[in-house]
C-alpha cells in the first residue's frame, strides 16, 4: 500500500492567493483527518470526515479555511485568501473504524509558506 499521499509537498505563495492542498487516504479507510503543525501551536486537528461526511470542523481556524471530501479516495483543504500566519505543515491522516483505534496513518505533509 502506498500510504496516505499528500500534494503538493511544498507550496510557496503570496498573501491573498488561494491554496489547495490534496490528500489521498489509504484505500478502504473510512476516517480522514486534517492536522496543522506549527512551532508555536504544535499539531492541531482541523477537521475530520467519516465516510466522506465532515463530522467535526471545530478546529478550522476561520472561514478562510474549507475542506471537502467528494469521494472516499480524495480530500482537499482550501485556504482562500491565504495569510502569512497560515504558514505551517498540513498533515492528512486516515484510519479504519474497527481497526486499531487511535492508529492513524499520516501522510508526509504539505509545507505551506505564505509570503
Partner 1 sequence: DAKTTQPPSMDCAEGRAANLPCNHSTISGNEYVYWYRQIHSQGPQYIIHGLKNNETNEMASLIITEDRKSSTLILPHATLRDTAVYYCIRLPQGGSEKLVFGKGTKLTVNP
**Does 25 contact partner 1 by CB under 8 A?**
no
CA dist list (Å): 19 to 71, 105, 106: 20, 24, 21
Q: Which of 68, 74, 78, 106 binds partner 1 (CB under 8 A)?
A: 106
Picking from 35, 37, 63, the residue whose alpha carbon sits closest to that of residue 48 is 35
**Following DSSP, what letter does each residue of 17-46 receive, concatenated?**
--EEEEEEPPTT--EEEEEEEETTTEEEEE
- Minimum Å distance from CB 16 to partner 1? 28
Choose one: 12-20, 37-45, 65-73, 78-86; the region binding partner 1 (CB under 8 A).
37-45
Which residue number, 4 or 67, has a Cβ lying nearer to partner 1? 4
Q: Which of 45, 54, 66, 113 binds partner 1 (CB under 8 A)?
A: 45
User: d(Cα 37, Cα 55) in Å, to the nearest integer?
Assistant: 21
Q: Which of 16, 55, 80, 83 binds partner 1 (CB under 8 A)?
A: 55
Q: Which of 33, 38, 73, 83 binds partner 1 (CB under 8 A)?
A: 33
Which residues of this chain interact with partner 1, rule CB under 8 A?
Answer: 4, 31, 33, 42-43, 45, 48, 55-56, 91, 93, 95, 97, 100-109
Amino acid at each position: 500500500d502506498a500510504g496516505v499521499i499528500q500534494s503538493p509537498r511544498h507550496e510557496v505563495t503570496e498573501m491573498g492567493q488561494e491554496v489547495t492542498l490534496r490528500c489521498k487516504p489509504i484505500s478502504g479507510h473510512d476516517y480522514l483527518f486534517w492536522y496543522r503543525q506549527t512551532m508555536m501551536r504544535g499539531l492541531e486537528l482541523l477537521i475530520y470526515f467519516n465516510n466522506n461526511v465532515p463530522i467535526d470542523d471545530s478546529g478550522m481556524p476561520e472561514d478562510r479555511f474549507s475542506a471537502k471530501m467528494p469521494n472516499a479516495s480524495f480530500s482537499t483543504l482550501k485556504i482562500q485568501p491565504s495569510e502569512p500566519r497560515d504558514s505551517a505543515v498540513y498533515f492528512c491522516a486516515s484510519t479504519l473504524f474497527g481497526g486499531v483505534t487511535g492508529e492513524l496513518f499520516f501522510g508526509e505533509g504539505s509545507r505551506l509558506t505564505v509570503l
